[in-house]
Amino acid sequence: MNFQVTDKKPCEEAILLDCIGDGVVTIGLDMKIRYMNRAMRELLGYEEGEPLEQLPSCHLLVQGSICSTQDCILERAIRNREKVRNYETVIQNRDGRKIPVSLNTDLLRDDGGNLIGIVETYRDLSQINELKAKLEHHTGSRTRGPLVARSKALQGILDLLPQVANAKATVLIEGESGTGKELIAREIHRLSPRRDQPFVAVNCAALAEGVLESELFGHVKGAFTGALADRLGRFEMAHKGTIFLDEIAEITPLAQVKLLRVLQESEFEKVGGNKTVKVDVRVVAATNKNLAAAVEEGKFRDDLYYRLQVFPIRIPPLRDRQEDLLPLIEHSIARLNRTMGKNVRQIDGPALTLLEAHRYPGNVRELENILEHAFIRCPDHVIRSEHLPESLLSDRSGQERPASKFDTTSRSTLAALEQEAIVQALAQTNWDYKRTCKILGLSRSTLLRRIKHYKLLRPHESKRSNIFQIDTRK
């Protein structure tokens, strides 16, 4: 495919490409643009007859992070014969306006099969992003596959993932058990150019010390008692794809040495073997422990630690992102309705209060288990406090016992002050939520949650149970 836009009579392929809605650009090995279709010219604001020399060069066309690092698209294509799929970045038009786009690339070869450049296609995401923004403004949260985020902390992490995914750098995900470290790892793989290759997850803590090395790197026949045949390790299984090493702090000193070599040289030997195996694997590791402290204590190699944390991601516990609780509840209930064939639509006030007050030492996984327990016990469409696990009811009774004079007084005083302020603001605005939020400096979702928590009713309403409605359309 070799187009010359200066031809007076454009070739048949160029005419066809002018009929499609996505922008198409071909770039030579010298990083100069060779061809640009009509949609791309319109996207950038260039007239049809303008000569090619006036069009922006390759590095000025794509204004995304992928071009400001060693992961330049063209360089990767030349070096590794890699392609890019659905990479979200930004280009700049002639007037300086930033345009969000989805970028795909493919290799461009001549008739002899020699690489002569790449072809890039750009899909304008402006309209899609505008609709997403309206939806996010309406719901106040975002869902990316199984990842649900309303808190700024988690949204910030999700915003970084497209850039992280398109680099080959090792990622270390830190966070307590149940925070969703594997979900983040899978999202990195899904967004990366390796998405069509294997994703291999290994729980290092679940493998016995004598088995871990063989599981990761494989073994040859006769390497040890019971090794009746050659066996592939997880790294070979993940070739061209991503390997996720969960609980990385648990690997043995010998496995640490081999893993360091894989990260440095992309090679290793199987257990009992002397043949070097080369692999191309993206490594994403995770831990619920403080690896820096383990290094200080001599339990983890410092050189391996620095290799792993090229790009560290810290996932905050659920107790530190309370804003995510209600969206997670809605998401989990919608999923459980599908998998269990039920139609749960509401959580009553006392049950919601228990869920909001719980500290969730097991994080999102614990919340999902609590809701699954409630689903099993719930006979109709409303989850009530008696459907929740006994441990939550025990927490409530423990919270109701006075701890100390200071604690009891301060808690009741703060709660009373908050309730009084909300009641006064609602009365002042005649229950106008928008004006009430402005007076109190609260978001609408927080105000509604507090109204439910304190069981506040309009003066003309009868006293009825406080209900949290579930959006079952998810």
Domain ranges of the chain: 12-125, 140-314, 322-400, 410-468
140-314 and 410-468, same CATH topology: no
Measured from the Cβ of residue 158, the count of other Cβ atoms closer than 10 Å reads: 16
Q: How far apart are CA 14 and CA 6, in angstroms?
A: 12
Closest CA to 230 of 277, 270, 286, 173: 270
Q: What is the pLDDT of residue 175?
A: 93
Q: Do residues 378 and 389 touch, judged by C-beta distance below 8 A?
A: no
Dihedral angle sign, alpha carbons of residues 83, 86, 90, 91: positive
Q: Do residues 266 and 281 touch, judged by C-beta distance below 8 A?
A: yes
Q: Do residues 154 and 137 touch, judged by C-beta distance below 8 A?
A: no
Q: How far apart are CA 460 and CA 314, in angstroms?
A: 48
Q: What is the pLDDT of residue 41?
A: 85
pTM: 0.57
Q: In CATH, what class is 322-400?
A: mainly alpha
Which range among 110-114, 199-203, 318-322 shows the weakest confidence by mean pLDDT?
110-114
Q: How far apart are CA 355 and CA 347, in angstroms?
A: 10
Tokens of 376: 């099993």
Residue 86 has pLDDT above 90, yes or no: no
Per 3-state DSSP, what percentage of the chain is helix, strand, and coil (rounded to 5)? 45, 20, 35
Which of 188-192, 381-385, 463-467 has maximum average pLDDT? 188-192
Is 410-468 a domain of CATH 1.10.3470?
no
Return the SS3 of 244.
strand
Q: What is the pLDDT of residue 75?
A: 67
Residue 145 has pLDDT above 50, yes or no: no
Q: Tell me which DSSP letter residue 24 carries.
A: E
Q: What are phi and psi of 29, to 5 degrees?
A: -65, -20
Q: So what's the architecture of 12-125 in CATH?
A: 2-Layer Sandwich (3.30)
> What's the pLDDT tens digit per position in 66-81?
454 445 666 666 666 7
Task: Compute the average pLDDT of residues 155-164.
Answer: 90
Pairing between β-strand 346-348 and β-strand 382-383 as defined by DSSP bridges: parallel
> What's the pLDDT tens digit per position in 24-44?
888 888 777 888 888 888 888
Q: What is the pLDDT of residue 43?
A: 85
> What's the pLDDT tens digit per position in 98-115?
788 888 888 888 888 888
CATH numeric code, 140-314: 3.40.50.300
Q: What are phi and psi of 358, to 5 degrees?
A: -70, 145
Residue 162 has pLDDT above 50, yes or no: yes
Q: What is the pLDDT of residue 68?
A: 42
Tokens of 325: 């609780």
Q: Tell me which DSSP letter residue 316 carries.
A: P
Q: How far apart are CA 303 and CA 367, in angstroms?
A: 37
Residue 214: pLDDT band by 50, 70, 90 thresholds?
confident
